[in-house]
Structure 1
Amino acid sequence: MEAIKRIHHITAIVGDPNENIKFYRDILGLRLVKQTVNFDDPGVYHLYFGDDNGNPGTIITFFNWLVDRPGLKGSGQIGRIAFRIPKGSMGAWQKHLDEHKINNRITQLFGQDILEFDDVHSLELALVEGQEEKTDKDIIGFHGAVLLSTSPEETSKLLTEEMGLSPIQSNDRNFHFETVGEERHHLITEIPPRPRGRFGIGTVHHIAWSVPNLTSLLEWREKLENVGLRLTDVRDRNYFKSVYTGEFGNMVFEFATDDPGFDVDEELEHLGESLQLPEQYEDRREEYERTMPKLDL
């Protein structure tokens, strides 16, 4: 079985959907590739942002909870999310964030400089220069993420021995890994663990790992069950099929297929332009369109 080659998507909990759209589309320049509902909590938006084609490895998604308290960041969650930007573009990005009055600073993570800041709902983000040189400063996709495991050693063992990530270095503050695919996504596991977190606005709900197709997904499900993890049945998310598990460090890991993609219910040039519902909720469309906030598209 092939190793995990990249992050598929990352899903966070945030607040007002229009504030969410303004930040990720209008400030960060990502494309709104899908507006739908949370399949497990219908009546709440689930918004997807990514590159122009909605490619796995670029997708950040959001549950938009309007009536909920802020979360408490801590172990059992995913921490700071890092996007990759073109080589030499950090200065332009810092100026851009300054112009939008977004507090930011240059620090160190993943063994290099990062530009760290928070989004409008206090989600922790960063920009990291890659090796690709482009004429613009557009976000390329994910660079990586920080994993806030309750058991960093056990999580690190899962990442390397079972999922096939490559260790880069470790010290008294973190373990550092990267995926073996073309994207070379970076993962940091913090040590020692933080106090336990609590889900709510401004926290990350789960990280999803990319697998090619359903056959591969079923193989991964069997493999992970054999090492002692408990996994859900296969869930059909329309744009991918997936399984979930609470891994050994109490973070939610999802394994999601690359196919069929986000153009199964919309033409590529019209992604994200209208509310898309799974078949089981189509009969409630009028209710959702009446009760959910109108989006500023």
Structure 2
Amino acid sequence: MATKPIVGLHHVTAIASDPQRNLDFYTQVLGLRFVKKTVNFDDPGTYHFYFGDDAGKPGTILTFFPWPNANRGTLGAGEVSHTAFSVPVSAIEYWEQRLEANDVRIEAKHERFGKVVLEFSDPDGMKIELVGNAEAAAVESAFANPRFADVPDEVAVRGFYGVTLLERNLAPTESALKLMGYSKVAEEGRRVRFEVAGDALAHRIDVVVDPAAPRGRMGAGTVHHVAFRSEDYADQKEWLKVISESLGVSPVMDRDYFRSIYYREPGGVLFELATDIPGFAVDEPLESLGEALRVPAWLQPHYDQIDKALTPITLHKAVKAEAKEEVQA
């Protein structure tokens, strides 16, 4: 077993359609920070967006491949069905009102494992949850809350709570999670919860078992992959050896802001193990994260061509005093 345990989620990557609509929803409605505007390394003519807390801390990052005119995906077995964020328990009423004020329909409000959960969809149909979590109060609000969001610090999103996997069978997926250090901690109906000892706000994986669930189809509104945290490069290499003994795994890939290995758990969900280092401030100041297009060094000679080909977007920067400014992004 690797010497350093996985402590939870690093990021979740999903597919969107309209880039501006995606940007507006996650910054203006959910109040996340636009941490990085770069390109899809495998398709440099399209964006790769990163949203998170003010510093882009692992465990807070939701990323998107926004492909204009992408067809809507279909949720099914072997996919992430819901992505959940933590908010303070006292913030649930605020978020009910904020979502309704922004014409976001709350699809369900219920209690799960003793915590209140709000369920809704983003503009592409991706299922999002806000979970009232007492542990969220322990996160320093000034760090968690993006400087350009109009969401008050005391009710701001505090990073991930966890994700839900939809699977036909539990045992193969449970085996993969156990390999990664996750343990079964609770069951509620067809839902089984797994946790690791680590980051209090991003260390949960729920598995919902439905033997009759059809296979899904990747597209806008679906999650492409889930990434877990590896502290550094040496740690990641150890995990590469451990995982390769049971599952097929990719070589290490340099993603500029982290290094990654990819492997698919037996139920079909694509997993990634991403390093905490070097982080999102490696190529631009913390104060201006996400405001300029960044491309990897190997694409730098084509920067102007790439920039002109991308769909123009505008980053709206809210100010807590209710004044607003716009930055052409």
TM > 0.5 fold call = yes
Residues of 1 paired with 2:169 and 2:296: CA distance? Answer: 37
Deviations 1:4-53 (A, max 9, x none): 11100000001111101110001100000000001111111000000001
SS of residue matched to 1:281: helix
In the TM superposition, what is the alpha-carbon distance from 1:154 to its structure 2 partner?
0.9
1:197 corresponding residue in structure 2: 216
1:211 corresponding residue in structure 2: 230
In the TM superposition, what is the alpha-carbon distance from 1:121 to its structure 2 partner?
1.0
Q: 1:17 to 1:143 in 2, by over 3 A?
A: same
CA contact (8 A) 1:166 1:180 kept: no
In the TM superposition, what is the alpha-carbon distance from 1:92 to its structure 2 partner?
0.7
Residues of 1 paired with 2:187 and 2:4: CA distance? Answer: 24
2:71 corresponding residue in structure 1: 69
1:238-257 alignment runs, 5 A limit = 238-257=256-275
Q: 1:253 to 1:119 in 2, by over 3 A?
A: same
In the TM superposition, what is the alpha-carbon distance from 1:98 to its structure 2 partner?
0.8
Is residue 128 from structure 1 mapped to residue 131 from structure 2 by the alignment?
yes
1:236 corresponding residue in structure 2: 254
In the TM superposition, what is the alpha-carbon distance from 1:150 to its structure 2 partner?
4.3
Residues of 1 paired with 2:218 and 2:232: CA distance? Answer: 30
Of all paired residues, the percent bearing the same amino acid is 39
In the TM superposition, what is the alpha-carbon distance from 1:112 to its structure 2 partner?
2.5
2:144 corresponding residue in structure 1: none
Q: 1:256 to 1:290 in 2, by over 3 A?
A: same
Instruction: Specify which of 8, 12, 18 is matched with residue 10 of structure 1.
Output: 12
Deviations 1:200-219 (A, max 9, x none): 00000000000101111111
Q: 1:285 to 1:14 in 2, by over 3 A?
A: same
Is residue 167 from structure 1 mapped to residue 170 from structure 2 by the alignment?
no
CA contact (8 A) 2:80 2:223 kept: yes
CA contact (8 A) 2:190 2:210 kept: yes
Moved over 4 A (4+): none
Residues of 1 paired with 2:133 and 2:62: CA distance? Answer: 19
Residues of 2 paired with 1:148 and 1:260: CA distance? Answer: 32
Residues of 2 paired with 1:196 and 1:206: CA distance? Answer: 16
1:1-297 alignment runs, 5 A limit = 1-104=3-106, 105-131=108-134, 132-133=136-137, 136-160=154-178, 162-183=179-200, 185-193=203-211, 194-227=213-246, 229-297=247-315
In the TM superposition, what is the alpha-carbon distance from 1:257 to its structure 2 partner?
0.2
In the TM superposition, what is the alpha-carbon distance from 1:97 to its structure 2 partner?
0.6
In the TM superposition, what is the alpha-carbon distance from 1:149 to its structure 2 partner?
3.0
The worse-fitting range, judged by mean Cα deviation, of 107-116 and 3-12 is 107-116
Residues of 1 paired with 2:157 and 2:270: CA distance? Answer: 26
In the TM superposition, what is the alpha-carbon distance from 1:172 to its structure 2 partner?
4.6
Residues of 1 paired with 2:9 and 2:294: CA distance? Answer: 24
In the TM superposition, what is the alpha-carbon distance from 1:187 to its structure 2 partner?
1.3
SS of residue matched to 1:256: strand
The code of the aligned residue for 1:54 comes to G
If the length of structure 2 is used for normalisation, what is the TM-score?
0.86
Aligned length: 295
- How large is the RMSD of aligned CA atoms in angstroms? 1.4
Residues of 2 paired with 1:290 and 1:188: CA distance? Answer: 42
Residues of 1 paired with 2:66 and 2:236: CA distance? Answer: 28
2:319 corresponding residue in structure 1: none
The code of the aligned residue for 1:53 comes to A
